[in-house]
Structure 1
Amino acid sequence: MLTYYILLPFIYMISLLPFPLFYGLCDVMFVLLYYVIGYRKKVVLQNLQNAFPEKSAKEIEKIRRRFYRYFCDLLLETFKTLTISRAAAIRRCKLTPEAQELFDRYAAENRSIMIVMGHYGNWEWAGNTFSLQGKHHLYVVYHPLSNKYFNGLMYRMRTRFGTGLIAMKDTFRDMVAHKSELDATAFIADQTPAPTSAYWTDFLNQDTPVFQGTEKIARKMNYPVVYVHVQRVKRGYYEISARTLFDQPSATKDGEITTAHTQALEQDICAHPEYWLWSHRRWKHKRPVPAQEPAVAEPAI
Structure 2
Amino acid sequence: MIQQPFGRTGWQVPLLSFGAQRIVDEHNCSEQEAIQIVNRAIDRGITYFDTAPSYSDGQSETRLGLALKGRRDEVMIATKTSDRTRDGSWRLLEGSLKRLQTDHVEEWRLHNIRTIEELDACFAQGGALQALREAQEQGIVKKLSISGHTNPQVLVEAIRRYEFDSALVALSALDHHIYSFAHEFVPLALEKGMAIIGMKVFALGKLGPWYEQALRYTLSLPISTSIVGMETMEQLEKNLAIAESFQPMSELERLEFWKEIMHLATPETLPWKAEEWGGDAWYRRAQ
Answer yes or no: same fold by TM over 0.5.
no
TM-score of the pair, normalised by structure 1: 0.33
TM-score of the pair, normalised by structure 2: 0.35
Higher relative contact order (CA 8 A, sep 6+): 1
- Structure label with greater radius of gyration: 1
